[in-house]
Amino acid sequence: MTLGSIPQQRVVEKLDEYMSRRDYAGAERHLLYWLEEALAAGDKRGELMVRNELVGHFRKVGNKQQALAHGDAALALVDELGFGETISAGTTYTNVGTACNAFGENERSLAMFQKAAAVYEASPHTKPGLLGGLYNNMALTCVSLGRFDEADELYQRALALMENVENGELEQAITYLNMADAAVAQNGYEASERQVEELLDTALALLDTPSVPRDGYYAFVCEKCAPVFAHYGFFLADADLKERAKSIYERD
């Protein structure tokens, strides 16, 4: 029995505010509060949305137990609601697959991504950004499993899709950095050094795209990318990206 529904859009907007300030503790309190509200109201759709966000939150803070527990609960809700062939199901499979990859459960991760791909590719309503993000994450799992040819094909698909996404340059930059890591994983750094430099140069040029808004998400991407540049000896780029992120967070 549903007694009401939680305001999903407002929940997400407030979550974005917490994340723009990197207030992970606040974000967690916010999500757990609305999870209780959804449970009390019997709002299964709202519960699914919040649990999906909790999967991502606990993945970011490194809490495997909670990330996968909320993931399992979200998957159960997909079945209970009969959402198996909907975009909501694809989003849930993607979130759980990403968490599994983050915590080293790569066989399960790939299985989740394959289910997400089946949903997204069959739906005419799938936005290019969703599919591109899926292919990028799926490729990471393929690299972890040593399936390099499949990973490269997925990265190329992701890059092509992001050509049609507003401000898709940020996701493309992340993809090029992932491709650098894949090249090293497959062939070693010495054999891949020139390729890595070219991929990192391309990624940096994309991050410099003038039309991309310098907002909280841009700061998040800069923070995410900076350590990769440092890892490969691009220390000036690392410092610059960290400073870009810091100035945005302090401004906001």
For the stretch 25-48, pLDDT in tens is 999 999 999 999 999 999 999 999
Helix (H) or strand (E) holding 223: helix 216-231
Tell me what the pLDDT averaged over the chain comes to. 95
pLDDT band at residue 4 under the 50/70/90 scheme = confident
pLDDT band at residue 246 under the 50/70/90 scheme = very high
Q: Is the pLDDT of residue 68 over 90?
A: yes
Report the alpha-carbon distance of residue 239 to residue 230 in Å, rounded: 8
Phi, psi of 19 (to 5 degrees): -70, -30
In this prediction, residue 5 carries a pLDDT of: 94
DSSP category for residue 83: -
At a CB cut-off of 8 Å and minimum separation 6, what does 185 contact?
A: 143, 148
- pTM of the shown model: 0.89
In this prediction, residue 2 carries a pLDDT of: 57
- pLDDT digit string (tens) for 117-172? 999 999 998 999 999 999 999 999 999 999 999 999 999 999 999 998 999 999 99
The two three-digit tokens of residue 43, written as one number:
């709002």
Largest distance between two CA atoms of the chain: 62
Higher-pLDDT residue of 22, 174: 174
Q: Is the pLDDT of residue 194 over 70?
A: yes
pLDDT band at residue 252 under the 50/70/90 scheme = low
The two three-digit tokens of residue 98, written as one number:
């990403």
In this prediction, residue 123 carries a pLDDT of: 92
- pLDDT digit string (tens) for 86-121? 999 999 999 999 999 999 999 999 999 999 999 999
Report the alpha-carbon distance of residue 52 to residue 30 in Å, rounded: 14
Mean pLDDT of the region 181-209: 97
Q: Is the pLDDT of residue 251 over 90?
A: no
The residue ranges of DSSP E strands in 20-73, in sequence order, are none
Q: Is the pLDDT of residue 241 over 90?
A: yes
Q: Which SS3 state, helix, strand or coil, does residue 163 take?
A: coil
State in words which class domain 9-126 has: mainly alpha
In this prediction, residue 225 carries a pLDDT of: 97
Report the alpha-carbon distance of residue 129 to residue 164 in Å, rounded: 8
